[in-house]
Structure 1
Amino acid sequence: MWKNTEVTHRLGLTVPIVQGPFGGGISSVDLVVAVCESGGLGSFGVHHLDGNGIREVASAIRARTARPFALNLWIPLGDADDPQVDDAAFDRSAALLQPYCDELGLAPPARPARFAPRYAEQIEAVLDVRPAVLSFVFGIPTADILERCRALGIVTLGAATTVAEAVALEQAGVDMVVATGFEAGGHRVSFLRQPEDSITGTFALVPQVADAVRIPVIAAGGIADGRGIAAALALGAQGVQIGTAFLACVESNAAPVHREMLFSPAARETGLTTVFSGRLARGIRNRLMDELQPHAAQLPPYPVQNWLTSAVKKAAAAQGRPDLMSLWCGQAAPLLAQRDARALMATLVEETTRVTRRLDGR
């Protein structure tokens, strides 16, 4: 039976379906609870929150479900925790965004004291609230953090875009690995090589990772229905992580105009770009992506560029302007059919059961 895998057994799930964590405020407690109560693993991206914010999120989730859930953090990559960007570079990037600020009625951005919360504060908060799962991207926690997770009974789940990254995660003592194909929406979470050099597709990546490591493999990227789940399991995965299909549900905190765009013909045209955050990410092609792309090499890295564009993206979402937002979207978006998370979970289970039974019959 496809539901009985090492992932379901280890995490206490009914089905081996993980909701992809969304960063930047588009995760929601409603979505996590809906997925958890439907037997999957709900995930909340907390990399934009400080320690108190993380504690509040965990408390809100636990007030509504007793099921296991995951909190997701970004491991500091390079100097991301304390970016070294001089005022001149900051001003140059701000100037590029000024026409869009004017168009949306925004004041020019002023340099903040910090561009993002400190990782040390975040990880201590996650360990303090003890979620069932700590998932993470852009690297590997230090050995002492992984040891503390083991002592606290927290399962660790790291993302890999290459076989080498998956092996590195296993060798460090991480419990499970998410093999992330280039079809996935949102950020490319590479950490051993440049993301532009780590764009293997899911169908090629998953079986190679499954052959290379002993820990459970969860497939991600281009999976949006039961056919994709069945295919991933056939390739050696013990579970799947699904992002875009859950992002499109009303329970997510994505702006209504973003969710509508995921169901539109525009979702067939996605692109990889660094212009929104300073890191390579996949989203629906739009005006802001196209107009900033010629300047991509001169833009500051994450989190500086992410902070600079945040006000523009937020105002555009509030004003219903998809042309000036980051519209994260995977390549499987044309397969989307459900707008309710519980209905989506039920459909995924029904479809996967039907597909696996048909294949078993053959």
Structure 2
Amino acid sequence: MTIAFAKTTLPIIGAPMAGGTTTPELTEAVARAGGFPFVAGGYLTAEVLAPLVERMRETTDVFGVNLFVPNPVPVDREAFAAFVAELEPAAAERGVTLDPEPVDDDDHFDEKLDWLINHPVPVVSTTFNLPTDETVDRLHAVGSQIVATVTSVPEARVAAERGVDGLIVQGPRAGGHSGTADPTRTIEDRPTVDLVRDILAEVDLPVAAGGGVDGEAMVAELLGAGASAVVVGTLLLRSEEAGTAPTHRAALASGEFTDTRLTRAFTGRPARALVNGFVRRFDPVAVNAYPAVHHLTKEFRAAAKRADDPQDLHLWAGTGYRGADAASAETIVKDLGARFARQ
């Protein structure tokens, strides 16, 4: 069986960027270009996700839906309290009151999975943890393919053992959250192409690859290493159809921000962002506590967005962010993939 993301005209996948960045207009533009779109299911209820999927279904019959898989990590209450204490003065300046009690949730995973079982889609991708055997079996039973996000060779092996149909190989230079199944581990920097080669040497599954993609040359490099498609997210952040906040858009193009870093400061899970004041101040005291830190800082970050202040906002960006253009997503995808169009 051919993996669905290898059926598109262009070998380009639009990354599912949760939190409103991947809009229906963005997924439709990726589809029009001949790429493979993913509906971002993270942070949504099943009720909110449903119309987004149905709208996508009206556009193309080759698409996927991404889900966050629950991955509870015990919260070190003492370390969490210390982080709250560090953040409180800055929050008070923005008029935000912090809840000192850690908040947990499963991102409505079971409800969304149930909905997808009852309303099957071509592909379901998972991130933040590997899918269980039961999840894989349930999706296969309704005809959906399932692809798992992996960030290491051991994760790829386990995913293959559980019967997934393909892998999304996410290199450490990708923007936003790492999809690692072990958010407490230290993620070492390395080129995505090396990770792709290592995984393909161990696992016989089709892969898509992303992380640090900065243009057509890297697309060629990843395809040459054996990837069936290349995942782009950061390169779409400034596109006309993306839901990226104006403050975030401006920061990506600004000479003020010159580096990215993996940090747990914003959400308690490693995520790559432009280095700003928040990262410099709070990364040294950040804790492994997702989604507790995500909920803790949510209103603080929202206040920074309203104030148009990039220094306290989560400016997700991969290392290839300088390649992000202010253009139509359709044009961006075509420019990246046209030379590699499938026959």
TM-score by shorter chain over 0.5: yes
Shift of 1:160: 1.3
Shift of 1:146: 0.7
Q: Which residue of 1 aligns with 2:309?
A: 321
More helix by share: 1
Range 113-122 or range 154-163, more displaced: 113-122
Would the alpha carbon gap of residues 195 and 318 (structure 1) be closer, same or farther in structure 2, given more than 3 Å must change? same
Q: Which residue of 2 aligns with 1:61?
A: 56
Report the 3-state secondary structure (helix = DSSP H, G, I; strand = E; otherwise coil) of the residue aligned with 2:273.
strand
Would the alpha carbon gap of residues 235 and 145 (structure 1) be closer, same or farther in structure 2, given more than 3 Å must change? same
Q: Deviations over 1:162-203 (max 9, x none)?
A: 112112211211111112111111122222584414544212
Q: Kindly indicate whether residue 115 of structure 2 is the aligned counterpart of residue 121 of structure 1.
A: no
Q: Which residue of 1 aligns with 2:32?
A: 37
Would the alpha carbon gap of residues 204 and 267 (structure 1) be closer, same or farther in structure 2, given more than 3 Å must change? farther
Shift of 1:159: 1.2
Q: Which residue of 2 aligns with 1:342?
A: 330
Alignment root-mean-square deviation, CA: 2.6
Pairs aligned (count)? 342
8 Å contact 1:25–1:48 — kept in the other structure?
no
Q: Kindly indicate whether residue 142 of structure 2 is the aligned counterpart of residue 147 of structure 1.
A: no
Structural mapping, 1:154-173, within 5 Å: 154-173=144-163
Would the alpha carbon gap of residues 198 and 188 (structure 1) be closer, same or farther in structure 2, given more than 3 Å must change? farther
In 2, Cα distance between the equivalents of 1:99 and 1:127? 46
8 Å contact 2:83–2:285 — kept in the other structure?
no
Q: Kindly indicate whether residue 231 of structure 2 is the aligned counterpart of residue 236 of structure 1.
A: no
Q: Which residue of 2 aligns with 1:20?
A: 15
Would the alpha carbon gap of residues 90 and 202 (structure 1) be closer, same or farther in structure 2, given more than 3 Å must change? closer
Q: Give the alignment partner of residue 185 of structure 1, picking from 175, 180, 203.
A: 175
Would the alpha carbon gap of residues 350 and 265 (structure 1) be closer, same or farther in structure 2, given more than 3 Å must change? farther
TM-score normalized by the length of structure 2: 0.90
| Higher relative contact order, structure no. (Cα contacts within 8 Å, ≥ 6 residues apart) | 2
Gaps of 5+ in 2: none
Q: Deviations over 1:48-95 (max 9, x none)?
A: 1122122232233335x1342221112222x25xx6676x77655444
Would the alpha carbon gap of residues 111 and 24 (structure 1) be closer, same or farther in structure 2, given more than 3 Å must change? farther
Q: Deviations over 1:5-62 (max 9, x none)?
A: x556x65311121111112332211111111222111112222112212223223333
In 2, Cα distance between the equivalents of 1:192 and 1:111? 23
TM-score normalized by the length of structure 1: 0.85
In 1, Cα distance between the equivalents of 2:104 and 2:262? 27
In 1, Cα distance between the equivalents of 2:180 and 2:45? 24
8 Å contact 1:268–1:334 — kept in the other structure?
no
In 1, Cα distance between the equivalents of 2:240 and 2:99? 31
8 Å contact 1:267–1:334 — kept in the other structure?
no
Q: Give the alignment partner of residue 203 of structure 2, picking from 171, 190, 213.
A: 213
Which letter does structure 2 place at the counterpart of 1:332? G
Gaps of 5+ in 1: 1-5, 357-362
Q: Which residue of 1 aligns with 2:318?
A: 330
8 Å contact 2:11–2:340 — kept in the other structure?
no
8 Å contact 1:277–1:305 — kept in the other structure?
yes
In 2, Cα distance between the equivalents of 1:127 and 1:224? 36
Q: Give the alignment partner of residue 293 of structure 1, picking from 275, 283, 300.
A: 283
Q: Which residue of 2 aligns with 1:359?
A: none
Would the alpha carbon gap of residues 352 and 254 (structure 1) be closer, same or farther in structure 2, given more than 3 Å must change? same
Report the 3-state secondary structure (helix = DSSP H, G, I; strand = E; otherwise coil) of the residue aligned with 1:240.
strand
In 1, Cα distance between the equivalents of 2:315 and 2:182? 26
In 2, Cα distance between the equivalents of 1:351 and 1:104? 49
Report the 3-state secondary structure (helix = DSSP H, G, I; strand = E; otherwise coil) of the residue aligned with 2:249.
helix
8 Å contact 2:209–2:229 — kept in the other structure?
yes
In 2, Cα distance between the equivalents of 1:117 and 1:192? 18
8 Å contact 1:273–1:282 — kept in the other structure?
yes
8 Å contact 1:70–1:132 — kept in the other structure?
yes
Q: Which residue of 1 aligns with 2:94?
A: 104
Would the alpha carbon gap of residues 152 and 346 (structure 1) be closer, same or farther in structure 2, given more than 3 Å must change? same
In 2, Cα distance between the equivalents of 1:290 and 1:230? 35
